[in-house]
A and B are shown apart, each in its own frame.
Chain A
């Protein structure tokens, strides 16, 4: 038995990430663009379009324009789309049609390692997408630096959360078509009410309560703080929420995927 370095062990958890990256690299542009386009056009149409109608208002004590307000939210929605779609639609195809995980299970890899790689890959896609989108938005001067750089590691954390969340559905939904259900019933409404397009404090209390329970609300709060460069203590709560969300859905996703594949 050879002694194992932490590096060797870590590598095993990245195998499926690596596999997906090798495939992604082949046609990276067609792989990277589609999921970024929707959040980007939302940003352009709502942000630039409504900017003149809405005028300036105050957010956490600083005066912002509407485009300024929704830019960080679009970055967060971009994270959700890239991570969630990867670990639902794409992972479902790998699981069901391509039998990628079956093939990997005939090697020394364990289900936990394979699924960890899948989740981290969703997070990596979210990170890449964030970097591209953030670069474009920064050209409009809408992100404060150096605080803005913190958006990247945050996008990765958010990516893990939504990738694990998506993989949970991949492991539980009986057919591929049913993946549309969590997308339409959970992800899309969530993107609308998480303090993304409008501030929550003017909304009905019940809506505020719902919003506070959604992970995107917290991702948006922190992203906005980082891009405006205004931090407050409340952010720790949002950060803790995201960590707890990961701590629940990461093992849960691995569990349901194992139960589903290793029959």
Chain B
């Protein structure tokens, strides 16, 4: 099987900071591969190395089956990038931004115009085609950046927090579009801070912290392995309940004002806890990727 991206011991340092600390991963054809991690985990640094923007400090990288060794032109012509920061051209209109970008890819004028039209429809922006990008709302700008990444019909789409700043409507629209693209076989590398987004879109993902990969797997498998099936949350738990949980060897996290219990027998435990202790502020829900994330990376703030 040929990988779309294959990283071995990928490392990036900035002075003393090891932003990416020898990570290895691969992306399969047609797969949406997620990269999660707290602020400063090294996601953007990894992404920047994987489209040749940032030289790697150490390690090796194969993209589309070829070792990258300075010749990025062919590789870059097959990749679409949506960077973390919007870098649209503020001096140009929406359509001009796309057409100029197409020009950088040496797409002929006529074809560039066709693609621009089609993409603006795809992302429902055609009514703003002649607006200056500085007049767009933050959310619209973001959608335009995502759209711009598709202008060269890429084989690999790299999205660094594509939906940050989008309202729920636009986010759902972007998700649908991305699913449509995946259905057509597009491989994607995605970072996000939204766990629901990662669960929904990613076939496989890694969780990073301090430049290292902590775990890798399918979202559902990760949840099953690291958290279980259900989560019981109790607000303001009593002393007795806290002792009970410890005595019963239940896997839990005590956040002093809140008790989080991970379990495979949610309903049974929930009934027992809510009848024996208190049923106010006691909830049972399905375990989510967010639980895995918090459990593995801790609750302390970064940066």
Contact = CB atoms under 8 A, between A and B. Distances in A.
B70 to A, nearest CB: 10
Given A106-B76, A106-B83, A107-B76, A15 B89 contact: no
A107 B96 CA distance: 16
A263 B14 contact: yes
A15 B90 contact: no
Nearest to A11: B106
A108 B77 contact: yes
B64 interface: no
A262 B76 CA distance: 15
A110 B88 contact: no
Contacts of A8: 106
Given A15-B104, A19-B100, A105 B89 contact: no
B169 interface: no
Contact of B90 (A18, A22, A98, A106): A98
B188 to A, nearest CB: 15
Contact of B89 (A12, A98, A107, A263): A98
Contact of A23 (B81, B91, B106): B91
Interface stretch (B50-58, B174-182, B191-199): B50-58
Interface in A95-114: 98-100, 102-110
B3 interface: no
A108 B104 contact: yes
A87 B276 CA distance: 74
Contacts of A19: 89, 100
B302 interface: no
A103 B87 contact: yes
A102 B100 contact: no
Contacts, number: 64
Nearest to B90: A98
B15 to A, nearest CB: 11
- Chain A, interface residues (CB within 8 Å), range: 20 to 34
B95 to A, nearest CB: 12
Given A107-B105, A108-B105, A108-B106, A99 B85 contact: yes
B103 interface: yes
Given A99-B85, A262-B54, A263-B54, A104 B104 contact: yes
A23 B133 CA distance: 13
B92 A22 contact: yes
B85 to A, nearest CB: 7
A251 B91 CA distance: 28
Contacts of B103: 15, 18
Contacts of B81: 106
A102 B79 CA distance: 15
B77 A98 contact: no
Interface in A16-60: 18-19, 22-23, 26
B104 A23 contact: no
B111 to A, nearest CB: 16
Interface in A216-263: 262-263
B131 to A, nearest CB: 15
Interface string A1-13: 0000000100110
24 contacts: A11-B106, A12-B106, A15-B103, A18-B103, A22-B92, A22-B100, A23-B89, A98-B87, A98-B89, A98-B91, A100-B87, A100-B89, A102-B83, A103-B88, A106-B53, A106-B76, A106-B79, A106-B81, A106-B83, A108-B106, A109-B104, A262-B54, A262-B55, A263-B54
Given A22-B96, A98-B90, 12 more contacts: A18-B103, A22-B92, A23-B89, A23-B92, A102-B53, A102-B87, A105-B53, A107-B104, A108-B72, A108-B74, A108-B105, A109-B104
